[in-house]
Amino acid sequence: MNARLEREIETLTQLAEERGARARPIRSEDVVVADWVRFKCRFGCKGFGKHLGCPPYAPAPEETRRMVREYSTGLLLRFDGVPGHPDLSPDQIPEDFHPFLRDLILWVNGTVHFLEKTAFYHDFQKAFGFGAYPCIYCEHQHCVAEEQPGIVDESIRRMCRHMDLVRPSMEAAGMDVFATARNAGWELHVIPCRNMEYGMIEHGDVISIGLVMLE
């Protein structure tokens, strides 16, 4: 790693810490992309086809593999907890839990975008971020992807209300977040849900992961 990149990683790490996140550099070969991840999005996730940062609008695993191979280094980001809910219980979580987790999603994706943008204007022109969770920038509105009738069509991306902010989540692009975090020294575990109910997590000790590819 050259001295310029080391300085940038130090700067971005400090900025991440100021936003309550932790950061660790990661080699591109330690970013794990797996086809099975995409199946989890296509089958079982209520966000499929409803957000422009999610499948089928997000890059397919093979696209992601090719893209990651163009880099040597990234910065992996870790976010602990759910803002405003240190003692989260299933009884607090509504059936439509996506808006309920808005502050968490904005914390993660906002930080990813801020660090990507910072690196870009520091002359790291390849900087590109991957967030987590379905996008929630459209407050009080559905994403245009969900509003459009008929077939899924990539061309509706031009109608995105927040095109400058939206990035694919790691999982949406086929990245194995568990394996990638483990390669950086962070062990993740599946959060138990009450009676195995979708989204009814039993505690607020949530670890969220983001990534900014740098050079």
Please compute Rg for the chain using Cα positions: 17
% the chain with pLDDT above 90: 78
Q: Residue 104 — very low, low, confident or very high, per pLDDT cuts 50/70/90?
A: very high
Contact 28, 73 (CB under 8 A): yes
Nearest residue to 132 (alpha-carbon basis) of 90, 196, 175? 175
* H-only helix segments in 122-194: 144-147, 177-183
6 pLDDT band (50/70/90 cuts)?
Answer: very high
What is the sign of the dihedral through the CA atoms of 172, 173, 175 and 181? negative
Full-model pTM? 0.94
Calculate the CA dihedral of residues 30, 23, 212, 171 and round it to 10 degrees: 60
| CA angle in degrees (0–180, nearest 5) for 33-34-37 | 110
What are the tens digits of pLDDT across the range 41-71?
Answer: 999 888 888 999 999 999 999 999 999 999 9
